């Protein structure tokens, strides 16, 4: 069982480096929880492969520093979509009332 966990930690680390992905997207890709991914790449990987750990750590730190930007973009997109739906809804009512 221990070898499987170590192998998974290395696979997660390689995936994060290759795709520059977040913990959330890696968890989704591998079908495991975010906390498992985080533990694998931040604790287990340090003991298994320190070089790989350092590379992963750099990417995770970059993601952490940029998360407020991604959150802002997501919020902006949310309200843009809401505005578009309201415009379509209003236009639909206007055209149907004109008939």
Residue 89 binned pLDDT confidence (cut-offs 50, 70, 90): confident
Q: Give pLDDT, residue 56.
A: 96
Looking at every residue in the chain, the average pLDDT score rounds to: 88
Q: Give pLDDT, residue 71.
A: 83
Residue 99 binned pLDDT confidence (cut-offs 50, 70, 90): very low
Sequence ranges of the domains in the chain: 2-98
Between the two ends of the chain, the Cα-to-Cα distance in Å is: 70
Asked if 37 contacts 30 with a C-beta cutoff of 8 angstroms, the reply is yes
Is the pLDDT confidence value at 63 over 50? Answer: yes
Is the pLDDT confidence value at 61 over 70? Answer: yes
CB atoms within 10 A of CB 8: 18
């Amino acid at each position: 069982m221990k070898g499987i966990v170590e192998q998974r930690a290395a696979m997660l680390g390689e995936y994060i480096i290759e795709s520059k992905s977040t913990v959330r997207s890696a968890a989704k890709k591998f079908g495991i929880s975010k906390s498992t991914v985080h533990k694998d790449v931040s604790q287990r990987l340090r003991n298994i492969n320190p070089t790989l750990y350092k590379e992963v750590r750099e990417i995770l730190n970059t993601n952490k520093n940029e998360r407020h930007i991604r959150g802002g973009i997501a919020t902006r997109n949310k309200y843009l979509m809401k505005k578009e739906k309201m415009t379509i809804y209003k236009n639909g009512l206007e055209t149907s009332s004109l008939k």
